[in-house]
Amino acid sequence: MSLSPVEGVALAEIESGTGSGGPGVKGVVGRSPGQLAWLRLRRDRTAMVSGALLVFFLLLGLAAPLIEMAYGVGPREQFQKLLDGFGMPLGYAGGVTGDHWFGLEPGLGRDIFIRLIYGLRTSLFIAFAAALITATIGIVLGALAGYLGGWLDAVINWITDLTLAMPFLIIALALTPTLTLRFYGERGQVSSAFGVGVLIAVFAIFGWTSTARLVRGQVIALREREFVEAAKASGAGLGHMLFRQLLPNIWAPILVSFSLAVPQFITSEAALSFIGVGLSDETPSFGRMIYRSLDFLQTDPAYVFFPGITIFALVFAFNLFGDALRDALDPKSSR
Amino acid sequence: MSRFLIKRLFSATLTLFAVSVLTFLMFFALPRDPVTGMCPKNCNPERLERVRDDLGLNDPLVSQYAGYMKGIVTGRDLGSAQGGRCDAPCLGWSYVTNEAVSDTIARVLPVTLSIVIPAAILWLLLGVGLGMVSALRRGTWLDRMAIGFSLTGASLQLYFVGAVLLLVFVYNLRLLPVPSYTSIFDNPAKWASGLVLAWVALAFLFSAIYARLSRAQMLETLSEDFVRTARAKGLAKPTVYGRHALRAAITPVVTIAGLDVGGALGGTVITETTFGIQGLGRTAVDAVRSGDLPTIMATVLIAAVFVVMANVLVDLLYAAIDPRVRLR
The beta strands (E) that lie in B62-124 are given as 76-77, 85-86, 93-94, 99-100
Homologous superfamily, domain B103-325: MetI-like (1.10.3720.10)
Smallest CA–CA distance from A274 into chain B, residue? B270
What A236-245 contacts at long range (C-beta under 8 Å, 24+ apart), as own/partner pairs, is A238/A147, A241/A147, A242/A143, A242/A144, A242/A147
Of A162, A171, A316, the CB nearest to B15: A162
Nearest chain A residue to B213 by CA: give it: A335
Q: Residue A205, class by beta-carbon neighbours within 10 Å (0-12 exposed, 13-18 middle, 19+ buried)?
A: middle
Whether residue A332 contacts residue A8, with contact meaning beta carbons closer than 8 Å, is answered with: yes
So what's the pLDDT on residue A26?
A: 56
Q: Is A154 on the interface with B (CB under 8 A)?
A: no
In whole angstroms, give the CA distance from residue B252 to residue B321: 11
Whether the CB-CB separation of A196 and A265 falls below 8 Å is answered with: no
Q: Where are chain B's structural domains? A: 1-100, 103-325
Query: With contact defined as beta carbons under 8 Å apart, do B47 and B39 qualify?
Result: yes
**Contact of B270 with B159, CB cutoff 8 Å:** yes
Reduced to 3 states, what is the DSSP secondary structure of residue B99? strand
Q: Cα A89 to the chain's mean position, in Å?
A: 34
Q: Please give the pLDDT value at position B122.
A: 92
Average pLDDT over residues B55-64: 72
Instruction: List CB contacts (< 8 A) between B304 and chain A.
Output: 165-167
Q: Give the number of other CB atoms < 10 A from CB of residue A17.
A: 16
Residue B298, CA atoms < 13 Å, CB-side half-sphere: 25
Q: Which domains are seen in chain A, by residue range?
A: 61-329 (1.10.3720.10)
* Contact assignment for B26 to A178 by CB distance below 8 Å: yes
CB proximity A155 to B under 8 Å:
no
Q: What angle do CA A324, A325, A328 make, to 5 degrees?
A: 90
Q: Give the helix ranges, DSSP H, for B29-81.
A: 45-55, 61-74
ipTM of model: 0.78
Name every chain B residue with its beta carbon within 8 A of the beta carbon of A178. 26-27, 30, 32
Per-residue pLDDT at A134: 94
Distance separating alpha carbons of residues A96 and A90, to the nearest angstrom: 9
Q: Smallest CA–CA separation between B119 and chain A, in Å?
A: 20
Provide the pLDDT for residue B121: 92
CB atoms within 10 A of CB B40: 7
Instruction: Give tens-digit pLDDT for B137-173.
Output: 888 888 888 888 888 888 888 888 888 888 888 887 7
Residues of A in contact with B160 (CB under 8 A): 290, 304, 308, 311-312
Distance CA B165, CA B151 (A): 19
For the segment A126-164, what is each residue's pLDDT rounded down to a tens digit? 999 999 999 999 999 999 998 988 889 889 988 888 888
Q: Is the pLDDT confidence value at B203 over 60? A: yes
Q: How many Å from the N-terminal Cα to the C-terminal Cα in chain A?
A: 9
B283 interfacial to chain A (CB closer than 8 Å): no
Percent of chain A scoring above 90 in pLDDT: 11
Residues of A in contact with B285 (CB under 8 A): 170, 173, 275-276
